[in-house]
Structure 1
Amino acid sequence: MLWLLKDFDLLSVLLRAATLSFEALTLGGTAFLLLVALPAQLSDSAQLTLRRAVRIAALAFAVAQISSIAVSSAILIGGSGFSFHDVLATNFFRADLLAAFAAVLLCVLLGHARLSAFAAAAVLAASVATSHAAARLDHRPLLLGLTAAHHTGTAIWIGAMPFLLLALRSSPSRAASVMVRRYSMMAMAGAALLLGAGLWMAWFYVRSWQGLYGTTYGAMLLAKGYLFLLMIGLGAGNFLLLRRTKYQPDSLLVRLRRFSEAEIGLGFTAILVAASLTSQPPAVDLTQDRLTTHDIVQRMHWETPRLKSPPLAQLAPPTSMAVAVRDSQFTDGSISDANDRAWSEYNHHWAGLIVLAAGLMALLAQLGGRRWAGNWPLLFIGLAIFILLRADPENWPLGPRSFWQSFAQPDVLEHRLYAVLITVFAFFEWGVETGRIHTRRAAYVFPLLCAAGGALLITHSHALSNIKDEMLTELSHTPIALLGATAGWARWLELRLPSRRESKMAGIVWPLCLVLVGLVLLDYREM
């Protein structure tokens, strides 16, 4: 059981992301049906398709909730000595079970407007009951209301948008224009609700500027703010397009759909950040070991990259897997010595050089049409091999721990997964760039995997000795994750937008993001 506990920490964040995502889809789909589709008098077949999609989202939400109950129960039983009877009495167990039941009930009642709205409200209430607000001793009713408003805003803006795209597929241009206008009003209300409730909650959970920039919770809030600004920018572009759809409905609706696709992707990345946020204590509760401005300036001060590796034999000797997992779970790991830090810096700096070179080559290919520069994805295959060999020296192939044993630690699992993702996207993108692969779908591998890799990095955890060390590491990993997500969806827009001018602008953004990722990696340091 000890071998699995640390993996459950990562799994619980991913399951929380799944429940929040499917909650947004379930509530957003229900709101779209009741407030947009029915008043717009969509055809019976279109409404049937939408109801089927909402039912799928609701059932997926129920499955994710039950899976989350199972994982959380296993952590409590295996790590704290709780019996299953004790777990049954916890508030989270009852609230999650109620949420799953309400989602199933929504599937049954979806044909009845008032009853389905009641079931959706029950899903929302049960979900809010497991939030940070429910655990607060002060201002609990207000925080519960703000959390419910925050979830509602997410649902009627981001969660409803996939259903808009689904409905647009089978709607004539005039009817689509009416439907888009109704959705636009609902989405603007959702964005305002999301922002207003989020800022108010941030005051209660952060309370100070140092809490914002000096804690992991604050860093995650800033990451959500960055994604929110990107989504607002895309939403503003859609709003401007909407005002012109009266005159050119067909061509402008195509562009609106393309911007909405990227907006949805960024929105669900923000939901993953929110899931990571729920695993962190609020900044207001962390009064010790916060970062100061001096710490940040010292950490961000540029130094010559480390390009010479310490010998493998000089690293700290690995312990047995059982001891490593137990120490990581219950003592938050051990302090790395100078050689371990040098090894890690060397890895990050060489990775930064590779990514920087790839970004510059990709930018040159976009601007100058240099044919040889189109081979930039091959550099990432070298990066994947480098990660596999050096990221975890205590594990296979350099260390004594076997290939399968190494997967018991989530950070090693993530590193191996990154190597696989990098290899896959490098192969497909190289084929696309050089004309060896001509299928349209192959071109989408790079943006989707790049966006997924950035989103996955948000969950990346490090077993360090104190909160300050962990926060200093987040100063590098969080920008890389956000730049990765930005690059992925910029490349998506380049491929999908019909306008050559807009497509070319997006085609400049993603190579610049790669360049910035390389520079961030070159400035990485262990403290």
Structure 2
Amino acid sequence: MALLAGFLDVVLRGVGLVAFSVCIGGVAFVALVLNPHSREPLPPRRARTRALRLISLGAVTLALTQFVVVAMKLTTLAGPDGAWPLTDFLRTQFGTASAVRIGSSLALAAIAARFGSGYELSPRVRLALLIPALALVVNGAWLSHAAGRVETDTVLVLADVVHRAAAATWAGGLVHLLAFWTTWRGHAHSSRVLSRFSRLAMVAVPTFIAAGVALVLRYVDSFGGLVGTAFGVMVLSKIVLVGLGLALGALSFSMVRRARALSMAPPGRVQWLIEAEIGVGITILLAAASLSSVPPTVDVIADRVEPSMVATRFVPRIPRLTSPPIEELLAIATPISKPDAPRQPVEYAWSEYNHHTAGAYVVTMGALAFAARAGVRSARHWPLLLLGLGAFMFVRNDPEAWPLGPVGFWETFLFPDVLQHRASVLIVVGLGIFEWLVRTDRVRSPRWKLMFPLLCAAGAALLITHSHGTANVKASFLIEVSHTPLGILGVLVAWGRWLEVRLPEPDCRIPGRVWPAAMTLLGVFLMFYREEPPS
């Protein structure tokens, strides 16, 4: 149960970060984009009402997720009689910070709901929104690595505050921009709102990058630490994802600037780019939540992995073509109820065969997706391969569990590794069903076409935040570092397909080639995957 609670804690942190960004980005959007300090005409009052209601919803979600996190921890700390040690818990730094976060979130929700009923955004209203928003920003640093260190580093805490505030302004502001754009795209104020948000983003993005660099320089002490610890690899994955988000933002910005220069309304495809940018931003926030659950590189000494050992994980080799017999595996495998016990060589061989076979499936699907794009009609049935892959994963992902092993089906859901594997099977099967229905014209609604990229995005996020509980920290890290590039490629597949579906011809051609290429490369990575224990 403790391992399951740890996994759920990371998920709740991710949801909380998204809600936090909607709150902070929303306050900035309302105050600086929808209600600028200028004589320009204001956007429709309904736009501000919608933004305030979205802020309220985000604040309630943030309070709820923090409450659930606290309840889980109190349940873990409960005595033999089941009573929560609430008084002692509130005396801790985490307990006090959690209480402040819940209270500030509820205050912001109430204020936003109150003034979302038709009030003008006067300086008094903006100040009322700003106070709990600032409390949430400062409180976020209180729960961070910076505040949790033995030595007090004011500069580090300040950098964390700035990083969180600027990142939330960008990511959360995008959500509010999309909410505005979907309703008032043709409104006279849409171009002004886009331009104001672009200027806000041009300040927020360099600010959170600069503050993030300052944090990395303090938390990561060497190149070896950057590539040889979970914290460092998560930082690298965030850098790649931020770069992808900025590329999408740059495309949107160039379209808006070109439209303003020609005194034209921004093109409709800006919305599709904003949607993809939000998707990448949410993945970044989930990665940040996972990052907050591991110790900084400077605090990891004995369990660092040498860069040369990490590099061997990505050296191509002949895929494993045969699987160990299930009887041999079950005879000596680590019990599923003891994830911290050392794994046996036969378990590594079993896992490698699983990954290599899955890679063959994915490479084949990528090639067929290219063929379908080129006009080969029969290749459009490639999503059916996902059903075969899903069945293969369901049977072999956890051999100690049903249907191959002695552990019952429902019992295995108490283990986070198994839970994540079962979720991945559902995602794969869902991908196959929805995409096949779309490609064979059995469903014609445009919304059905979005199921494939959305499920891909969920799978990619699961890969990036995926963890393995084992006593050998180095072995666990080497497994996870192999999954990180797979997650990043999954993000490219997801939002490349999203843009192919959303963008008109000929704009959809480039993303229509990018995502099959990313899928094929993902399959190649899987076919070269290795999982032998570190020496």
TM-score bucket of the superposed structures, by smaller chain: over 0.9
- Distance apart, 1:336 and its partner CA: 1.9
CA contact (8 A) 2:313 2:482 kept: no
CA contact (8 A) 2:466 2:480 kept: no
Aligned residue identity for 1:24: S
For 1:93, the equivalent position in structure 2 comes to 95
Aligned residue identity for 1:90: T
Question: What are the superposed Cα offsets for residues 443-502 of structure 1, whole Å, 9 maximum, x if unpaired?
Answer: 11100000111011222111233222122112321111111111101111111113x122
- Distance apart, 1:404 and its partner CA: 0.7
For 1:365, the equivalent position in structure 2 comes to 372
Question: What are the superposed Cα offsets for residues 73-128 of structure 1, whole Å, 9 maximum, x if unpaired?
Answer: 2334489x994433232111111121111111112333311121111101111222
1:206 aligns with 2:207: no
CA contact (8 A) 2:74 2:85 kept: no
Distance 2:498 2:476 in 1: 32
Residue pairs, 1:33-112, within 5 angstroms: 33-39=30-36, 41-77=42-78, 83-110=85-112, 111=115, 112=125
1:146 aligns with 2:159: yes
For 1:298, the equivalent position in structure 2 comes to 312
- Distance apart, 1:318 and its partner CA: 7.5
For 2:385, the equivalent position in structure 1 comes to 379
For 1:284, the equivalent position in structure 2 comes to 298
Aligned residue identity for 2:218: F
- Distance apart, 1:250 and its partner CA: 6.7
Residue pairs, 1:412-491, within 5 angstroms: 412-491=418-497
For 1:397, the equivalent position in structure 2 comes to 403
Residue 256 (structure 1) aligned to one of 270, 288, 296: 270
Instruction: Report the TM-score when normalising by structure 2.
Output: 0.92
1:349 aligns with 2:349: no
- SS where residue 243 of structure 1 aligns? helix
Q: CA RMSD in A?
A: 1.9
For 1:239, the equivalent position in structure 2 comes to 253
**Against the structure 1 CA distance between its residues 292 and 249, is the aligned structure 2 distance closer, same or farther, given a 3 Å change threshold?**
farther
CA contact (8 A) 2:104 2:132 kept: yes
CA contact (8 A) 1:157 1:188 kept: no
Distance 1:445 1:210 in 2: 40
Residue 7 (structure 2) aligned to one of 3, 7, 10: 10
Distance 2:252 2:135 in 1: 32
**Against the structure 1 CA distance between its residues 169 and 316, is the aligned structure 2 distance closer, same or farther, given a 3 Å change threshold?**
closer
Aligned residue identity for 1:59: V
Distance 1:337 1:31 in 2: 53
Residue 408 (structure 1) aligned to one of 404, 414, 417: 414
Gaps of 5+ in 1: none
For 2:508, the equivalent position in structure 1 comes to 503
- SS where residue 72 of structure 2 aligns? helix
Aligned residue identity for 2:100: L
Distance 1:115 1:262 in 2: 32
- SS where residue 107 of structure 1 aligns? helix
**Against the structure 1 CA distance between its residues 248 and 452, is the aligned structure 2 distance closer, same or farther, given a 3 Å change threshold?**
farther
For 1:227, the equivalent position in structure 2 comes to 241
Residue 337 (structure 1) aligned to one of 344, 353, 364: 344
Distance 2:127 2:181 in 1: 25
Question: What are the superposed Cα offsets for residues 176-211 of structure 1, whole Å, 9 maximum, x if unpaired?
Answer: 111111111111111011100000000111121111
Distance 2:366 2:20 in 1: 37
The count of aligned residue pairs is 514
For 1:131, the equivalent position in structure 2 comes to 144
- Distance apart, 1:247 and its partner CA: 5.8
Distance 2:195 2:464 in 1: 34
- Distance apart, 1:519 and its partner CA: 0.7
- Distance apart, 1:267 and its partner CA: 0.4
CA contact (8 A) 2:21 2:172 kept: yes
Aligned residue identity for 1:357: T
Gaps of 5+ in 2: 116-124
Aligned residue identity for 1:353: A
CA contact (8 A) 1:174 1:249 kept: no
Question: What are the superposed Cα offsets for residues 289-309 of structure 1, whole Å, 9 maximum, x if unpaired?
Answer: 322232123332222111111
Distance 2:79 2:226 in 1: 34
For 2:130, the equivalent position in structure 1 comes to 117
- Distance apart, 1:173 and its partner CA: 4.0
CA contact (8 A) 2:334 2:344 kept: no
**Against the structure 1 CA distance between its residues 249 and 444, is the aligned structure 2 distance closer, same or farther, given a 3 Å change threshold?**
farther
CA contact (8 A) 2:34 2:42 kept: yes
Instruction: Report the TM-score when normalising by structure 1.
Output: 0.94
For 2:122, the equivalent position in structure 1 comes to none
Deviates more, 1:336-345 or 1:14-23: 336-345
Distance 2:78 2:251 in 1: 50
